[in-house]
Structure formats: C-alpha cells, structure tokens
Structure 1
C-alpha cells in the first residue's frame, strides 16, 4: 500500500475505530476532578454524551451500520475533519471508509481523560485523548492523539454533528 494511501487508511481507521465493545475510558476526571462537574445533572450532558460515544465505538467494532447511521445527524450538517481537510460529510461516507478494514480485523480504541462541555441549550463538545490499535500480532499497529466531537441533543437523543482527529507529527 502506498504511504499516502496507508496514511489515509490509518486516519480512516482512527475515526472509525473509535471502537470497541471493549472501549475503555481510563479516567473520567482531570487531576481528580470529575469531567464537567456533576455527572448526570440536568445541565451536564457528560454521562449521556459519553454513553453515546461508547455505543458508537461498539458499533464500529462490530460493524453495526444501522447503529452507526443512527448516531449521526442526517440533515447534511455532518462534517468530519482530518489532515487539514473535510474527510466525511455523511454516515454513508463513514461506512464506505469502514469497508477498507475487513470485519475480521479487530479495532480497539482507548479513550483517556474525556471532557464534555455543554454548548448552548442542545449541544455538547467532547474531546479526549485516544489510542487506537488495529489488527493483532506482527501485522497490528497502534497510534494515538486527540479527537473531538460536536453533538446535538434532539427528539431522538444525542447525535454526532461533526468532529476532528489529530495525531502528533514530527515538526
């Protein structure tokens, strides 16, 4: 696979492999203080938003296209940015990217120190450090960085409106 194609595949995996029936949040606090204050309060969306992200990650790992599709806004506003460009604009784009990885190829993402902040009456911004592992054994690889999600709460619950992923690069 050519380096640029491999990099695009890895970044696609990064977004899609926010994986895991075994998705782990290793810490729900920053310096011992719970993220976003009182978890589960009427004004703090942290518990609900993190549950949506966990559900999404499990759906990606199991390649559950119906659940993946249900967790994005479907009205044309969705946008995902990586490598300094818009990479995806719809759930269909995301699902197409996921086809680059065989179902038998395990993907697992560990989220660390997630932070969720309410934005207005119906929105939330979540950001987290992550490590993603793809494959197993000698053919497997891992990478990490930071990702963010913008979500909106509506009649059907929280939905992903957009996000961004960034991995460190040598400068």
Structure 2
C-alpha cells in the first residue's frame, strides 16, 4: 500500500507539472504568449470602451505595484492610479487605441514582459482632442489565474 501511495503521488505531481509545461521541463512559451496577447487585446478593448471597472482589473493588487510615465513615477500605488483613471474617464468622451507592434517575453509560468508600441486618439468631453504615439513596457504577473500589470512604463515618442 505504501508503494501504491508513492506511485499515486508521483503520478499526481507529474500530471500537475505537465499541465504547466511542454512536458519536457520547458515552459510552454507559445501558450503563455497567446494568453498575454489576448489580455493586451482585452486591455485595448476596455480602454476604448472607457470601462473603468474592467481597466482597474488590469493592474496588480500587489503592494509593490507602480507605474512610470516619461521617466517619472506617476502612480506610486494602485489607489493613486485608480483615482487618476476615474478622473480621466470622467473627462473623456471617446478613445481609440491601437497596438502597432507588440513583443512578449515569457519569464516564467507566472511572469512575463510585454512591450507595445501604440497610437491613441482621445476626445475630451469639453470638445478638445489629442493623439498619443507611444510605447509601454509592462512586467505582468499572474494573480489568481489573471495576468495583471505589476510594473509599467509608458512614454510618448519624441523626435530625435
């Protein structure tokens, strides 16, 4: 019976491990990249819909979260970011964001790095409008089976 239990435990461990890898000890980077790409597409959809609750879910609940814009820590924690998002959604009447280029580097089963080049047109409720041509780099962490932004940096393209 003792050997049967060990064998059964071994099978359970092997089955669990094989679900998260290619079976040969390597990460299934293609599957993880597809998950993250779909998550980034969902981010763009939520952004364009100005869905505040959905947008908040893209950012990590981890205490170490922060976001940098143009080289400066703009949002030191998630609460500050959520307050800013709420204000922005209240001032904007339309958003059209498009991903121009995307690169995803899988680090582990629950962390990855994503780089995006994007364009975003925003129309303000007051009648003004502006365009952003930028890039962002995001460290994603899988929390409760959901990919979220743990750290990020966005910047606008500048003429050089």
Q: Counterpart of 2:77?
A: 90
**Of 23, 31, 42, which residue of structure 1 is paired with 2:28?**
42
Q: Which runs of 4+ in 1 moved over 6 A?
A: none
Larger radius of gyration: 2
Give the distance between the partners of 1:166 and 1:104, measured in 2 at CA: 20
Larger relative contact order (Cα-Cα within 8 Å, sequence gap ≥ 6)? 1
For the aligned residue pairs, the C-alpha RMSD in angstroms reads: 2.4
| Cα distance between partner residues in 2 of 1:101 and 1:70 | 15
Structure 2 unaligned blocks of 5 or more: 1-26
User: Once the two structures are superposed, what CA deviation does each residue of 1:49-71 show, in whole Å capped at 9, x if it has no partner?
Assistant: 12112222322333333322322
Q: Determine which of 88, 104, 107 is the counterpart of 1:116.
A: 104
CA distance in 1, matches of 2:65, 2:42: 18
Q: Partners in 2 of 1:59 and 1:95 — Cα distance?
A: 14
The equivalent of 2:140 in structure 1 is 151
Counterpart among 44, 63, 77 of residue 57 in structure 1: 44
What TM-score, normalized to structure 2? 0.69
Q: Which runs of 5+ in 1 are unaligned?
A: 1-40
Higher helix share: 2
Is the 1:115–1:126 Cα contact (8 Å) retained in structure 2? yes
Give the TM-score normalised by the residue count of structure 1: 0.65
